[in-house]
Amino acid sequence: MAPCQLEIIHESDITIIKLSGALLFHDDGAELCERVDEILGQGIRKIILDMSGNIGINSNGFGSLISILVKITKAGGQLILFNPKDKVLNLITIVKLTKTFVIFHGTLDEAKRHFRTVVKK
């Protein structure tokens, strides 16, 4: 599988993290957590994790998703998982976190509009 790669896109009050490749290893998750820390340090509280290019995830990667969700929530923000693949959705369902994660399918522009109407910070 392709290694995990992150692309950060800042758009006004929303940051999009485009995740591509597989989120499998501790180092991948650590980089994701560090990038989220940087974004929160800039005062940004609306983060979309674009998972449409993610081709694999395991328990390490899923643990990283939970970790960034906790960080963002504690900072008063919100995380949207955008277009996650079935494997991620199945994991979220199995561990009964379907009401914890905000999951959005559609276009990225629709996700941004949805985000702006849901989060008022």
Q: Do the beta carbons of residue 32 and residue 23 sit within 8 Å? A: yes
Low-confidence winner among 40-44, 52-56, 88-92, 109-113 (lowest mean pLDDT): 52-56
Q: Which domain holds residue 42?
A: 5-118
Mean pLDDT of 91-116: 86
CATH number where 60 lies: 3.30.750.24
What pTM does this model have? Answer: 0.90
Neighbouring residues of 98: CB distance < 8 A, sequence distance ≥ 6 = 92
Q: Do the beta carbons of residue 2 and residue 21 sit within 8 Å? A: yes
Buried/exposed 69-84: b ≥16 CB within 10 Å, e otherwise: bebbeebebbbbbbbb
Mean pLDDT of 11-23: 91
For residue 38, pLDDT over 70 is answered with yes
Q: Count how many domains the chain has.
A: 1
DSSP H/E element including 72: helix 59-74
pLDDT tier at 119 (50, 70, 90 boundaries)? low
CA 45, distance to chain mean position in Å, is 12
